[in-house]
Structure 1
Amino acid sequence: MNNQKTGEDHVDRLRAQWARELPDLDTNPMSILGRVYRLSMLVRPGIEETFAAFGLDRGEFDVIATLRRAGAPYRLTPTELYKSLMITSGGLTHRLKRLEKAGLVKRTPSPEDGRSMMVELTSAGKTRAEEAFRTDMASELALFAAMPQARRELLEELLRELTHTVMSSLADRQK
């Protein structure tokens, strides 16, 4: 891919329709957020297919990946897990039951507080998390193969900036 502007896309067509129907409305946010959303929808099936090949859904992968990223001994409290995953404790409980049944996690008493439980990745869970993540990253990297590294780095920088801007804006609204 070169630095020239690519042809019209789906978002351009949507914006043109809205410009015709509501010419006074600035639809510029669609040019960014619409494309981010569309990209997410385009890649989601492939990501889910990758995890399914490892006997996982996306939520289950998120749990074992979070435990793996935590480092040895690959163990967190349920509270640490659900806060990291930004889900409810009930949603986590359901995932943990499935993962425990599959032998990928186990619940163990907390070494600091025998009344609390820890969620720990089993060796099978560690292997599954690593293999699924490696496969997913290879698949996702292939999606960007035609884009020069410098353009990818620029896009990464701009998306990071966009994320900070949006987060700041949302925080300001809540004040």
Structure 2
Amino acid sequence: MLVIGRLFRLTDALDQHLRPPFQAAGLGSGDFDVLAALRRAGRPYALSAGELSRTVLVTTGAISKRVDRLEARGLVGRTVAEGDSRGCLVTLTAEGVELTGELVAVHLDNQRRLLSGLDADEQAQPAGLLGRLASTLPDGGE
């Protein structure tokens, strides 16, 4: 109970410290995750809805809602997937690339600050243990 309780408490605390920059940028919950996944994909910063779903670990329905919000803001665009007229490709716009770059820098600084109470070896310990724990879960931690 202690491990699970601490994980839940830490998740809430970390979320409260990490989400404000995204909210200040007018992004809803999970929107940054989609932008960051597209940015990590590399040029041309595009993924299918299915690829986004697997990367962000949410349903395709949730991805669709997030992409709708981001498209309305001009941060992503949709195009028909080449070779599959039923699928769509989600791509960062120039504005989306710029905003994502700014937010990634802020996000990484926040993560460094939040972990600054632990040295590199100490950070590696929970990272390894949490990875092992995730791999023991029925869905592999997804």
TM-score, length-scaled by structure 1: 0.72
Q: Report whether the alignment pairs 1:102 with 2:78.
A: no
Percent of residue pairs identical: 34
Give the Cα separation in 1 of the matches to 2:86 and 2:33.
26
Structure 1 or 2, whichever has the larger Rg, is 1
Q: Which residue of 2 aligns with 1:61?
A: 32
Matches within 5 A, 1:149-160: 149-160=120-131
Q: Which residue of 1 aligns with 2:49?
A: 78
Give the Cα separation in 2 of the matches to 1:155 and 1:86.
21
Equivalent residue letter for 2:34? V
Deviation per residue, 1:28-52 (Å, 9 max, x gap):
xx12111111100111112111211
Q: Which residue of 1 aligns with 2:114?
A: 143
Equivalent residue letter for 1:63? V
Deviation per residue, 1:57-82 (Å, 9 max, x gap):
23111111111111111111112222
* Helix, strand or coil at the partner of 1:109: strand
Greater length-normalized contact order (CA 8 Å, ≥ 6 residues apart): 2
Gapped runs of 5+ residues in structure 2?
Answer: none
Aligned length: 139
More strand by share: 2
Matches within 5 A, 1:36-51: 36-51=7-22
2:63 counterpart (89, 92, 106): 92
For the aligned residue pairs, the C-alpha RMSD in angstroms reads 1.7
Stretch deviating more after TM superposition (120-129 or 49-58): 49-58
Gapped runs of 5+ residues in structure 1?
Answer: 1-29
Deviation per residue, 1:70-113 (Å, 9 max, x gap):
11111111122223223233222221111011110001122333
TM-score, length-scaled by structure 2: 0.87
Deviation per residue, 1:115-139 (Å, 9 max, x gap):
5321111111112122112101111
Equivalent residue letter for 2:33? D
Equivalent residue letter for 1:159? L
Q: Report whether the alignment pairs 1:164 with 2:135.
A: yes
